[in-house]
Structure 1
Amino acid sequence: REPVAAVALVPVRWVMGLRERKLTRYARFESVSTEEICTYLRSSQVKLPPGWTRVCIQGLRKSKLNYRLIRDPCHHQMEMPSQDSYV
């Protein structure tokens, strides 16, 4: 069985905080449309907005989070159907 993975669009500052072992809540990406978010979440050569990066998280335990994950509306349009996407 393949490990469960989640793809997320997060601020670069949030990733830097993880490197410093500081887990902080991050701002939600405000987009013009669902299609735009879907484009950013796909593994592709699409240039992301300044200050944002795409990460793949494996082995995520939702029970350890102190905030709720929201399933991405374009989950079924992803290139790799074995992955879930959250925002």
Structure 2
Amino acid sequence: MIVIDIAVAGLAVAFLVAAWRVVAGPTPADRVVAADLLTFSLIGLVALVGTRLARAGTFDLVIVATLVAFLAAVSLARALTGGHR
């Protein structure tokens, strides 16, 4: 359980750094990448807390949130490039 606690602390630090970059990012691309990191670090936190508490229901939430976050990242990248491939 110590490893899970260390991983939670590391993801919490990544979450805070990403939140700071979303606020202070100099370009929209920096903000999009930081928002993506923010989302996936939050999903990681949920997965680790679910593992720590031995709750099986959190993994359904993690799967759905990961799919939504991936689609959001793709759509943000597409919007950032103006729809060009």
TM-score range for the pair, normalised by the shorter chain length: under 0.3
- Compare the two structures and name the one with the higher strand fraction: 1
Could you say which structure has the greater relative contact order, defined with CA pairs below 8 angstroms and 6 or more residues apart? Answer: 1
TM-score (normalizing by structure 2): 0.22
Structure with greater helix share of residues: 2
TM-score (norm 1): 0.22
